[in-house]
């Protein structure tokens, strides 16, 4: 093929790959404008929003308060099906469910619903793949495919809400109470869409899903300018920072973006966020045997964090394909906790829900192949 021919080949560019516009991409004013563009009165926007955000429905047949003549067209234009469930894996007696979603362009993303006695957490993806290349994370290994749109992110939460409302998750009918941006992707690298999603998730019904800002956690590798921008939004969502090492030398290898923004800068930005939002920052630290779990590193971490508005979440490393690393020994984990506590730093060890369905932290890789551990029979 000659270079000239290559020039004329259509290349899938960014614009080609943008998902269709959806109601959930728009703020209330944008929704009113969009229905008016269809020749409908502005109040249809509220009706439509109520269907989607309060009843989780995008089926025009169920929208009996809309004139039959226009239902289908409104739904077609403003409620395109963005996520098609490709596969669902369940464990913990059905209270942990990982869904593999196929998007309009064939990208694959995953979300995980986790029901606990007192809450239901949806872990959502913000990108298909991830460009941050952390070597211990399965998502990081595949690279970035593309950013998700606001509606593609919100759709994952809506799907969870729909399942719970229909009583399809053991424990009776329920609601999503918490949303964590801890699925695939780096949320702050897809800032605009993620912020839109935070707004839709936390705006009052029917403008949004009505989930409290305090129950939403945005997790980042530490993109300092974006943390600073988030600080300026005046939100009270929880910021989580994936630190994984207290020293730059090790963090450069575990979280490659550390070469751009160092530990000290990331923490300074985090404290800035904590001060403005009045919320404790959550420090994520995957404990990796003999890599970052030494007592001296616990002390160094304790020194860095002591006296700040902070909470440490230790995550026993989850296995990922091809990784030689493994979780810390229980004794090393206990000592790590003890030393942080000795510095007066609040610390918890995160449970590893979803491990057996590759749905735990760092295991989301969105392959369409059958899970290596097999899928438990459908209930
Ligand atoms: N990109 C964002 C969002 C991902 S959140 C971020 O890095 O914060 C997923 C969390 O799980 C992050 O803290 C990530 O570092 C952590 N994680 C990744 N791989 C892991 C693994 N194999 N075991 C345990 N935690 C892991």
Residues 97-143 pLDDT 10s? 999 999 999 999 999 999 999 999 999 999 999 999 999 999 988 89
Task: Compute the average pLDDT of residues 86-95.
Answer: 95
Tell me, what's the pLDDT at 12? 45
Cα 195 to Cα 213: distance, rounded to the nearest angstrom: 12
Q: Quick check: CB of 137 below 6 Å from ligand 1?
A: yes
Q: Which of 114, 130, 153, 286 to mutate to test the pocket of ligand 1 (most atoms within 8 A of CB)?
A: 286
pLDDT in tens, 144-159: 999 999 999 999 999 9
- Asked whether residue 267 carries a pLDDT value surpassing 80, the answer given is yes
**pLDDT tens-digit profile of 4-21?**
333 333 344 444 579 999
Residue written as token pair 């899938």: 12
Question: 125 CB under 6 A from ligand 1?
Answer: no
d(CA 210, CA 52): 12
Residue in this structure with the two tokens 């304790």, named with its chain if needed: 302
- Whether the pLDDT of residue 276 is over 80: the answer is yes
pLDDT higher than threshold 90 for residue 193 = yes
- Dist. CA 198 → ligand 1 center (Å): 20
Q: What is the pLDDT of residues 332-366, one digit of tens each?
A: 999 999 999 999 999 999 987 888 888 888 888 87
How far CA 141 is from CA of 131, 134, 227, 248, in Å, comes to 9, 7, 24, 21
Nearest CA to ligand 1 atom 10: 361
Weakest mean pLDDT among 31-40, 90-99, 350-359, 369-378: 369-378
Secondary structure of the chain in the HEC alphabet? CCHHHHHHCCCCCCHHHCCCCCHHHCCHHHHHHHHHHCCCCCCHHHHHHHHHHHCCCCCHHHCCCCCHHHHHHHHHHHCCCCCEEEEEEEEHHHCEEEEEEECCCCCEEEEEEEECCCCEEEECCCEEECCCCCCCCHHHHHCEEEECCHHHHHHHHHHHHHHHHCCCCCCCCCCCCEEEECCCCCHHHHHHHHHHHHHHHHCCCCCCCCCCHHHEEEEECCCHHHHHHHHCCCCCCEEEEECCCCCHHHHHHHCHHHHCCCHHHHHHHHHHHHHHHCCCEEEEEEEECCCCCCHHHHHHHHHHHCCCCEEEEEEECCCCCCCCCCECCHHHHHHHHHHHHHCCCCEEECCCCCHHHCCCCCCCCCCCCCCCCCCCCCC
Q: In the prediction, which pLDDT does 17 show?
A: 76
Residue 252 scores a pLDDT above 50? yes
For residue 258, the model assigns a pLDDT of 98
Q: In percent, how much of the chain has pLDDT > 70? A: 92
For 62-66, 67-71, 364-368, which range has the lowest pLDDT when averaged over its residues? 364-368
Average pLDDT over residues 219-234: 98
Q: Which two tokens stand for residue 5?
A: 């021919």
| pLDDT for 370 | 44
Q: What is the mean pLDDT of the chain?
A: 92
Write down the pLDDT at residue 353. Answer: 82
Is residue 56 exposed (0-12), middle (13-18) or buried (19+ Cβ within 10 Å)?
Answer: buried
Task: Give the ligand 1 atom nearest the CA of 244.
Answer: 15
Which residue has its alpha carbon closest to ligand 1 atom 3?
Answer: 182
| Per-residue confidence (pLDDT) for residue 14, from 0 to 100 | 46
Nearest to 224 by CA among 186, 196, 250, 279: 186
Atom of ligand 1 nearest to the CA of 137: 19
123 among known catalytic residues: no
Cβ–ligand 1 distance for 254 under 6 Å, the answer no
Q: Two tokens at 158?
A: 């809506």
Ligand 1 atom closest to the Cα of residue 132 is 1
In the set 40, 110, 152, 186, the catalytic residue is 110
Asked about 110 being catalytic, the answer comes back as yes
Mutate to test the pocket of ligand 1, among 242, 320, 358, 360 (most ligand atoms within 8 A of CB): 242
Probe target for ligand 1 pocket from 109, 126, 284, 293, with the most ligand atoms within 8 Å of CB:
284
What pLDDT was estimated at residue 321?
87
């Amino acid at each position: 093929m000659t270079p000239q021919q290559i020039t004329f080949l259509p290349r899938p560019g960014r614009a080609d790959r943008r998902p269709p516009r959806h109601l959930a991409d728009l703020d209330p004013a944008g929704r009113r404008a969009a229905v008016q563009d269809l020749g409908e009165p502005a109040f249809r926007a509220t009706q439509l929003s109520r269907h989607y955000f309060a009843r989780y429905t995008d089926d025009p047949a169920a929208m009996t308060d809309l004139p039959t003549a226009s239902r289908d067209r409104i739904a077609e234009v403003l409620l395109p099906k963005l996520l098609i469930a490709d596969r669902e894996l369940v464990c913990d007696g059905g209270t942990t469910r990982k869904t593999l979603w196929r998007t309009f362009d064939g990208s694959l993303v995953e979300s995980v619903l986790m029901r606990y006695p007192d809450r239901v957490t949806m872990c959502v993806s913000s990108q298909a793949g991830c460009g941050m290349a952390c070597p211990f994370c399965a998502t990081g290994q595949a690279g970035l495919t593309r950013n998700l749109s606001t509606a593609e992110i919100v759709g994952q939460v809506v799907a969870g809400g729909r399942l719970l409302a229909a009583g399809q998750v053991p424990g009776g009918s329920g609601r999503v109470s918490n949303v964590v941006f801890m699925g695939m992707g780096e949320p702050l690298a897809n800032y605009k869409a993620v912020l839109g999603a935070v707004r839709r998730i936390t705006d009052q019904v029917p403008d949004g899903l009505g989930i409290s800002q305090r129950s939403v956690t945005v997790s980042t590798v530490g993109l300092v300018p974006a943390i600073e921008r988030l600080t300026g939004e005046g939100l009270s969502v929880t910021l989580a920072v994936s630190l994984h090492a207290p020293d730059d030398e090790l963090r450069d290898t575990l979280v490659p973006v550390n070469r751009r923004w160092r530990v000290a800068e990331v923490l300074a930005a985090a404290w800035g966020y904590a001060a403005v939002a009045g919320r404790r920052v959550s420090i994520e630290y995957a404990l990796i045997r003999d890599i970052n779990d030494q007592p001296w590193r616990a002390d160094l971490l304790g020194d860095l964090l002591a006296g700040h508005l902070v909470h440490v979440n230790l995550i026993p490393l989850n296995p990922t394909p091809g990784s030689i690393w493994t979780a810390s020994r229980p004794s090393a984990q206990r000592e790590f906790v003890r030393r942080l506590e000795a510095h007066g730093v609040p610390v918890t060890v995160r449970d590893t829900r979803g491990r057996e369905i590759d749905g735990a932290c760092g295991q989301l890789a969105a392959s369409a192949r059958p899970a290596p551990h097999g899928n438990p029979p459908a209930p």
